[in-house]
Amino acid sequence: MTDPMRPLGLSLWQLIAFRPMFKAGGRLFVDVAQNLASPAGRAALLVAMGQHDPLIKDALETIIGRGNFSTSDLPPAPPSPPPIEADPAIVQDLIQASQTALEALRQNIQSRSGSDLLDFILDDIQQLKKRMLHPKNMSAIMAGINASSWINGKMKEWLGENNVADALSQSAPNNVTSEMGLGLLHVTDVIRPYPEVIDYLQHTKDDDLLAGLLRLEGGKEVRAAFDAYLQKYGMRCAGEIDITRTRWSERPGILVPLILSNLKNQELNAGHRKFEQGRQEAAQKEQDLLDRLSLLPDGAEKAKETKRMVAILRDFIGYREYPKYSIVCHLFAYKQALLKEAERLVQAGVISAKEDIYYFTFEELRTSNLDPRLIGKRKAEYERYESLTPPRVITSDGEIIQGKYKHENLPARALAGLAVSSGIAEGRARVIFNLEDAEITEGDILVTTFTDPSWTPSFVSIKGLVTEVGGLMTHGAVIAREYGLPAVVGVEHATRLIKDGQWIRVNGTAGYIEILEKIT
């Protein structure tokens, strides 16, 4: 999330986040000074950043190299979640518990108002965090990640093959984010037989998009498909950790460019075929590995252990996406209730428009410390923040530390990044900053600043992914592996250095981009 956030979004995410976050330039940063001051904390942080963002790691190593900071001991780290064995029922139980809590929230929040509402939200956030940090939930999240690391390490050691877990992760079950992309393909299939609906979607600018469908042949069926999709995914949007961002349920027209792209690029039942193809390729890859391992010394034991770890990977890697989905569902329930409260504030003459509450912090709303004069000031600040590019690493003194990649033997003029999904793809670069402007053709390579789950529906048509920020376990990387898309993230200034329409090559195995100059 590199965009600025409004005060309500900033303050609410500070409450939800699992460690303290600090504001600068309308963004949230993590203070790692205490980590750096402890030898153990320093080592753990560098390992984590090596996987998350090598440029941050390199910048931190520059700071460490100066040696001019005090040392202290970190508090003891929380115990690691207990190991877990393959069992699909574990994930199903966790998802059901999450859904039960969400339904209770939706029921109980409706009757709240005033300080009672804000206190209720604060309490729900604490309960939400408690569920997220429960050992069973943490074990399920970490199981897939740890299995992926084990598989990649052992297959490199035993077979000399890199990033094997990428292929094994394709079409993993229970991934609510990858299912979201395939789900929009189903909505597209419902629309496909109705020319009137297609023409309407191509030309309407109506904010009340769904109501207009009912006047058309097939509109009732399409409206039902839209409603079902939005019931499950309508709380999502670009920059979704910011409660003030417009959700798909609030403006379904955001999805129209993606649907039109699907109509142009995908055939009937493409969602089912893509999922089944990925599942089969993952199964074939597993069998290939087991066959090769069985020929090695102690091959039977190595194959047995690998089969066990692949089962854990398949059962749990998809669940890594669910906790974020659950958090965003809660955020949307909070938003709907807060906007009702805002309408009361408008009627009372406290604010002039309900969106003005976005410029107060959560605590200001909770204590009714609302000074209308702050609204204009904070709107101007937000506009100024939008023009800023946030650094990866900044010191308390305001010094920006730049990191560098340490790739060896890169092709001339290649752009270095972090390899997060294996394979090589060539295609036309589509440099896109806003999903609403997305005009994607089958085989394009998406180039953007960052992706969160809201970008997933565009992944069904692309051939590869390039982002300026991201890591091995950020959403774009996880879904790229599930869909079998080569991906490189953390490519500095990618959206400036790569021109829209250029022909590029993405090497998701070695971690670099080549610009092949040709523009189409």
Burial class (CB within 10 angstroms; exposed 0-12, middle 13-18, buried 19+) of 381? middle
Q: Which residues pair with 505 in a beta bridge?
A: 426, 514
Residue 520: per-residue pLDDT: 56
Write down the pLDDT at residue 233.
97
Mean pLDDT along residues 319-329? 95
Q: At what angle do helices 88-108 and 322-347 cross, to 10 degrees?
A: 0
pLDDT of residue 440: 86
- Catalytic positions: 475
Beta-ladder partners of 466: 447, 488
pLDDT of residue 519: 63
Higher pLDDT: 83 or 199? It is: 199
**How much is the average pLDDT of 87-102?**
95
Check pLDDT > 60 for residue 513: yes
Alpha helices in 447-516 (DSSP H): 475-483, 494-497
Average pLDDT value for residue range 39-43: 88
Residue 459 has pLDDT above 70, yes or no: yes
**What is the mean predicted confidence (pLDDT) over 493-497?**
94
Tell me 491's DSSP state: -
Asked if 364 and 378 count as a contact pair (C-beta separation under 8 A), the reply is no
CB 374 within 8 A of CB 358: no
Q: Could you tell me which of 393, 391, 343 has the C-alpha nearest to residue 32?
A: 393
| Band of residue 76 on the pLDDT scale cut at 50, 70, 90 | low
pLDDT given for residue 129 in this prediction: 97
Mean pLDDT to the nearest integer, 7-11? 98
Amino acid at 118: L
Computed over every residue of the chain, the mean pLDDT equals 92
**Three-state secondary-structure class, residue 23:** strand
User: In the prediction, which pLDDT does 82 show?
Assistant: 75
CA distance 2 to 12: 17
> What residues contact residue 429 under an 8 Å CB cut-off, 6+ apart?
444, 445, 447, 466, 498, 499, 500, 501, 502, 503, 504
Q: Which residues of 472-493 are buried (b: 16+ CB within 10 A; e: fewer)?
A: bbbbbbbbbbbbbbbbbbbbbe
pLDDT of residue 222: 97
Instruction: Give the separation between CA 362 and CA 380, rounded to whole angstroms.
Output: 19
> Is a pLDDT exceeding 60 seen at residue 447?
yes
Q: Which of 503, 358, 347 lies closest to 425 in space, CA to CA?
A: 503
CA distance linking residue 242 with residue 232, whole number of Å = 19
First-to-last C-alpha distance (Å) of the chain: 31
Tell me what the mean pLDDT of segment 378-402 comes to: 93
Average pLDDT value for residue range 109-114:
94
Q: How long is the chain?
A: 520
- Band the pLDDT of 78: cuts 50, 70, 90: low
pLDDT single digits (tens) 218-265: 999 999 999 999 999 999 999 999 999 999 999 999 999 999 999 999
Q: Are the C-beta atoms of residues 16 and 129 closer than 8 Å to each other?
A: yes
Is the pTM of the predicted complex or chain greater than 0.85?
yes
Q: Between these two residues, 418 and 520, which has the higher pLDDT value?
A: 418
pLDDT tens per residue, range 268-322? 999 999 999 999 999 999 999 999 999 999 999 999 999 999 999 999 999 999 9
Among residues 26, 494, 465, the alpha carbon closest in space to that of 239 is found at 26
Q: Identify the sign of the CA torsion 181, 187, 189, 193.
A: negative
Q: Please report where in the chains the tokens 């709303």 appear, as a residue.
A: 365
459, 483 Cβ separation under 8 angstroms: yes
pLDDT reported for residue 41: 87
At residue 144, does pLDDT exceed 90? yes
Asked if residue 514 lies in contact with residue 504, where contact means CB atoms within 8 angstroms, the answer is yes
Percentage of the chain modeled with pLDDT above 90: 76
Say whether pLDDT at 75 is over 70.
Answer: no
- Given a cut of 90, whether residue 122 has pLDDT beyond it is yes
Q: Which residues lie across from 488 on neighbouring strands? A: 419, 466
Q: How confident is the model at residue 68 (pLDDT cuts 50, 70, 90)?
A: confident
Residue from 184, 360, 323 nearest 241 by CA? 323
In angstroms, rounded to a whole number, what is the distance separating the alpha carbons of residues 450 and 471?
10
By DSSP bridging, strand 424-431 and strand 502-507 are: antiparallel
Mean pLDDT of 209-223: 94
Q: Are the C-beta atoms of 91 and 315 separated by less than 8 Å?
A: yes
Residue 499 burial (10 A CB sphere; 0-12, 13-18, 19+): middle
Locus of tokens 């970490």: 142
